[in-house]
Amino acid sequence: MRIGALEAGGTKMVCAVGDETGMIFERTRIPTTMPEETLNALVEWFQDKEIEALGIGCFGPVDLRRSSKTYGCITTTPKPGWAWCDMVGTFRRALGVSVGFDTDVNASVLGEVRFGQGRGLSTVLYLTVGTGIGLGVYLNGALHHGIVHPEAGHVLLSLHPEEHWTCRCPYHPNCLEGLACGPAIEERWGARAEALAQRRKVWEMEAYYIAQALVDYICILAPEKIILGGGVMRQRQLFPLIRSEVRRMMGGYLAAEELNDLDTYIVPESLNGDQGILGSLCLGAAEWAREHGGREA
Ligand code: ADP
Ligand code: ZN
């Protein structure tokens, strides 16, 4: 089956056509400007591709409650023009195909579960550390949603003993995203994160914050694996620092075989940045199956 995939981001839209086996036939990128212009360009790209379904992994917050009047919309984003933008409705009307919809991070965790590090597992987390921080939650074999999708980038943390900067989140004085996203690193240290590779203190503090959040996620959700992606995680020296902080902060409390080998438990994304687009393909296929009486994938 030919399926469209859209990874909808705040700066760019990544589009692809592929199939349910994870083959990608063609792809393109379209900059995210104002909704009308961007959505028109996306519809134009997809409309002659002979797709039977489209899957969208979208920046949030988004409405994922099927019973809601605003299901399929981006909700309260501060991004100009995009609040209450009807993503599912727009593509359904324009393309006349099944449209699967979830958060960008849930699409990423699904991509890793189907094609990457999460294969064969039933509870997997995907944390992206980039412009923002978000967590995709695959729980007991399904993407997790509750009253909203998880907003685990905003878990509250203890400040590092040497913290000298202010959390940049407008809602919380001490949340993970406000303390550890790429722009927070840049503000605290006065240079883009990419340029700070040699400054050990930067990455020790970053690992201290990320590890606290991971310990909370582990204690609450007991995942079988945690996958870390996003621009900031390209600093590979973060991995051993995060693992050793997780080990220290856990204090040996949880007895699970997986926690004895953190090298295979806390791992980098494995699909060369394609986890979101591959997961979006799966979202499209799942929605098609749902609407055609098949089993939800
Ligand atoms: P987005 O979150 O916007 O989709 P990214 O995941 O690339 O995009 O995140 C962008 C953030 O990641 C920026 O704050 C940037 O400074 C940071 N970043 C990108 N590449 C690197 C790198 N190699 N090392 C450290 N930080 C990086
Ligand atoms: Zn916050």
Q: Mark out the alpha helices in the chain (DSSP H runs).
A: 35-47, 87-95, 104-115, 176-180, 182-189, 200-221, 238-250, 262-265, 275-291
CA of 93 to the centre of ligand 1 (A): 34
pLDDT at 210: 99
Q: Mark out the alpha helices in 116-199 (DSSP H runs).
A: 176-180, 182-189
3-state secondary structure of 150: coil
pLDDT at 286: 97
pLDDT in tens, 149-183: 999 999 999 999 999 999 999 999 999 999 999 99
**How many CB atoms are located within 10 Å of the residue 278 CB?**
26
CA of 216 to the centre of ligand 1 (A): 24
The answer to whether the CB of 131 is under 6 A from ligand 1 is yes
pLDDT in tens, 250-267: 999 988 999 999 999 999
Which residues lie across from 156 on neighbouring strands? 175
Mean pLDDT of the residues in the chain: 96
The pLDDT of residue 120 is above 90:
yes
- The Cα diameter of the chain in Å comes to 57
Contact of 19 with 115, CB cutoff 8 Å:
no
The answer to whether the CB of 12 is under 6 A from ligand 1 is no
pLDDT at 172: 96
The answer to whether the CB of 32 is under 6 A from ligand 1 is no
Which residues make up the environment of ion ligand 2, defined by Cβ < 5 Å? 154, 169, 171-172, 175, 178
Question: How many helices and strands in the chain, by DSSP H and E?
Answer: 9, 10
pLDDT at 78: 87
The pLDDT of residue 297 is above 60:
no
pLDDT at 295: 56
pLDDT in tens, 64-112: 999 999 999 999 998 999 999 999 999 999 999 999 999 999 999 999 9
Contact of 15 with 21, CB cutoff 8 Å:
no
Instruction: Using the atom order of ligand 1, give the atom closest to the CA of residue 196.
Output: 25
